Amino acid sequence: MHILTFDSHQKLHESGAGIIIGMVQTNPRAVLGLATGGTPIGIYQEIVKSYQQGIVSFKDTTTFNLDEYVGLPENHQESYHNYMNTHLFDLIQLQRSQTHIPDGNAADLEAECQSYDKLLEQAGQIDLQLLGLGHNGHIGFNEPDHALTGCTHIVELREETRKANARYFDSIDEVPTHALTMGVGTILKAKMILLIVKGGDKAEIVQRALKGPITTDCPASLLQTHPHLVVLLDSEAGRLL
Ligand SMILES: O=P(O)(O)OC[C@H]1O[C@](O)(CO)[C@@H](O)[C@@H]1O
């Protein structure tokens, strides 16, 4: 595990973007696993800047997102489809055929999970999986539980996750109760994992995830078993390490 701590968000964003851009420059056909939430936005902004400067092209790249809310229309401000289009895809001219996000509005959600896994299998191994970290240790929407699921599945969101994400909605009542998420098995199969965490409110969970026991009570702790994990932290998030 490589842990890098940054005293400025700008440097953290540039470093994260640099790793992703370097991967695509070396392998233009790379398969990228992408994340949403507040954390990666600065990294996406740096990627867009490099794209606009002609430093990198994504024309042969494929992407798979970790998760999507159930029942939120795709064009809703807070859907992860809308998030990805707004913050990245439309700005680096990624065609819809190159990008994949689970469909949280599918009539048959179980079938949607299975077909997402089939697409992942057809694409081969994810070269780089970008991850944020939930306050309760979730990765993607894999919530703490007595057992975790390997493949894409429907998850009931924990109250604390809905509360944490209520900051993006008008009220907690608007936060969906369920989501579709890639499973930890798929996440751990990625060749490289890039975990990004910012803010002192996550210092404790960072400590548990990276230095605590490996337990399904803290899904991110399973990342300790990954052979190529890179963690980028701001100094606040890393203060208990
Ligand atoms: O970056 P944020 O907004 O704190 O979210 C952390 C994590 O929570 C999620 O948004 C899901 O709740 C993940 O997608 C993200 O990695």
Domain count, the chain: 1
Q: Is residue 143 part of a domain?
A: yes
In the numeric block, the tokens 């809905």 are attached to 162
Contact 205, 240 (CB under 8 A): no
Contact 9, 237 (CB under 8 A): no
Percentage of residues in the chain having pLDDT higher than 90: 100
pLDDT at 211: 98
CA of 171 to the centre of ligand 1 (A): 17
pLDDT at 43: 98
Give the span between the Cα atoms of 80 and 106, in whole angstroms: 15
213: amino acid identity, one letter: P
CA of 18 to the centre of ligand 1 (A): 21
Q: Is residue 210 part of a domain?
A: yes
Of the candidates 13, 14, 46, 67, the residue annotated as catalytic is 67
Tokens read off for 204: 């404790």
Question: Beta strand 31-34 with 62-65: parallel, antiparallel or unpaired?
Answer: parallel
Of 192, 214, 66, 232, nearest to 137 by C-alpha is 214
Q: Is residue 238 part of a domain?
A: no
Give the span between the Cα atoms of 236 and 201, in whole angstroms: 8
pLDDT tens digits, 175-192: 999 999 999 999 999 999
Tokens read off for 177: 């109760």
Q: Is residue 240 part of a domain?
A: no
Q: Is residue 204 part of a domain?
A: yes
Check if 67 is active-site: yes
ipTM metric: 0.93
Mean per-residue pLDDT, 6-11: 98
pLDDT at 226: 98
Of 115, 32, 31, 29, nearest to 16 by C-alpha is 32
pLDDT band at 88 (very low <50, low <70, confident <90, very high): very high
Among 34, 39, 130, 168, which residue has the most ligand 1 atoms within 8 Å of its CB, making it the best to mutate?
39
pLDDT band at 153 (very low <50, low <70, confident <90, very high): very high
pLDDT at 81: 98
Residue 39 CA: nearest ligand 1 atom is 1
pLDDT tens digits, 110-127: 999 999 999 999 999 999
Tell me the residue range of the domain where 51 lies: 2-232
The CATH number that applies at residue 47 is 3.40.50.1360
- Considering the entire predicted model, what is its pTM? 0.97
Q: Is residue 156 part of a domain?
A: yes
132 lines ligand 1 (CB under 6 A): yes
- Give the side-chain half-sphere CA count within 13 A for 7: 0
34 lines ligand 1 (CB under 6 A): no
Q: Is residue 55 part of a domain?
A: yes
- Give the side-chain half-sphere CA count within 13 A for 21: 22
Residue 80 CA: nearest ligand 1 atom is 14
In the numeric block, the tokens 């595990």 are attached to 1
pLDDT tens digits, 190-213: 999 999 999 999 999 999 999 999
Residue 40 CA: nearest ligand 1 atom is 1
Question: Beta strand 153-156 with 178-181: parallel, antiparallel or unpaired?
Answer: antiparallel
Q: Is residue 237 part of a domain?
A: no
DSSP string, 65-108: ESEEESS--TTSTTSHHHHHHHHTGGGTT--GGGEE---TT-SS
CA of 39 to the centre of ligand 1 (A): 7
pLDDT band at 2 (very low <50, low <70, confident <90, very high): very high
pLDDT band at 162 (very low <50, low <70, confident <90, very high): very high
pLDDT band at 29 (very low <50, low <70, confident <90, very high): very high
pLDDT at 111: 98
pLDDT at 174: 95
Of the candidates 65, 81, 85, 136, the residue annotated as catalytic is 136
Instruction: Compute the C-alpha angle 101/64/103, nearest 5°.
Output: 15
Give the span between the Cα atoms of 80 and 67, in whole angstroms: 7
Mean per-residue pLDDT, 18-43: 98
